[in-house]
Amino acid sequence: MRVRLFMLLFLAAGSVAAQKISTAVVPVVGSVFGATMVRWKTDVELVNDTGRATDVALELPLAPGLAEFAVTMAAGQSLRFPDIAQAFSLEHVLSPLRVTTSGRRSVSVRASVYAIRDGGEPSPTQPLSVFIGSPFHPSRVLDGLAFSEEFRTNIGLVNLSDRDADFVLALQRLPGRTMAVSQIRVRAGSMAHASIQSLFPLITEGSGFNVIVETGARDTYVYASVIESTTHTGRFISPRPGAR
């Protein structure tokens, strides 16, 4: 419904030639408290490098209520939102970010995450993945995961489709040697964000793990984060296509 509202806005504003739209998705953004009461926030920057003025709509599709707004960007213009949740007048939210551009080419989207504790300095920013169009791989691999007293890993599964999506997750340390398997269903238009320990409770601490995520559902995204417990430095992991 919300995407159709954006399309109506763009179609009403442009010629037939300009009625194409392009989409960029950041699988997860927001403002949330972590395990140690550190608040994680997301910095987003848009750059209109399309060579022309263009309409751009931003949406948090899994946020409560109607979390969307549109702007017109001049050619070469940049917009930065140091706290993307604040840009939507939200204090606490976790959602993908969808950026819809009027035209065949999307504006450039850059996103990074940082941690901050009251009265403290923000941690160094870490880049987040941005997906253009509708990329889909039935098998995706999250590399370099760990869980111990020093590090904690979270895995996210996002389903932006209109049907429930079933995911199968296989934990490996050596290629082809599965140590544990977990299955999870993510409702249509929702996301699951869970620690690796909760997904694989029989596995003790370790590092150098990979998780293979398989699903037949399109319009889905996966991600992982490995957080250093004392410094709250995060390493955010984008999936690579896996063999099927």
- pLDDT for position 12: 55
Which residue in the block uniquely carries the two structure tokens 């920013």? 125
Q: What is the pLDDT of residues 47-98, one digit of tens each?
A: 999 999 999 999 999 998 889 999 999 999 999 999 999 999 999 999 999 9
- pLDDT for position 152: 87
Q: What is the pLDDT of residues 26-36, one digit of tens each?
A: 999 999 887 67
Whether the model pTM is above 0.85: yes
Q: Is 7 helix (H, G, I), strand (E, B) or coil?
A: helix
- pLDDT for position 9: 56
User: CA 222, CA 192: separation in Å to the nearest integer?
Assistant: 10
Task: Kindly provide the residue ranges of all beta strands, DSSP E only, lying in 1-51, ordered along the sequence.
Answer: 21-33, 39-47
Domain ranges in the chain are: 2-132, 139-241
- pLDDT for position 67: 92
Residue 3 pLDDT more than 50? no
User: CA 54, CA 102: separation in Å to the nearest integer?
Assistant: 6
Query: Does 1.10.3470 match the CATH number of domain 2-132?
Result: no
Of 38, 119, 113, 123, give the one whose Cα is nearest residue 83. 113
Q: Encoding tokens for residue 47? A: 């750059």
Q: Encoding tokens for residue 178? A: 């599965």
Q: Could you tell me how far CA 88 lies from the centroid of its own chain?
A: 17
Fold classification of 139-241 (topology level):
Hypothetical Protein Tm1070; Chain: A (2.60.290)
Q: What does residue 199 show for φ and ψ, rounded to 5 degrees?
A: -80, -35
Beta strands 68-73 and 139-147, pairing class: unpaired
Dihedral of CA atoms 195, 199, 203, 204 in degrees, nearest 10, equals: 20
Q: Which residue has the higher pLDDT, 28 or 7?
A: 28
User: CA 195, CA 51: separation in Å to the nearest integer?
Assistant: 43
Task: Kindly provide the residue ranges of all beta strands, DSSP E only, lying in the chain, ordered along the sequence.
Answer: 21-33, 39-47, 54-59, 68-73, 78-81, 93-102, 108-116, 126-127, 131-132, 139-147, 151-159, 165-174, 177-186, 190-195, 206-214, 220-228, 234-237, 240-241
User: CA 200, CA 203: separation in Å to the nearest integer?
Assistant: 6
Q: Do domains 2-132 and 139-241 have the same CATH topology?
A: yes
Residues comprising the chain, all counted: 244
Q: 133 near 219, Cβ under 8 Å?
A: no
Q: Which residue has the higher pLDDT, 232 or 127?
A: 127
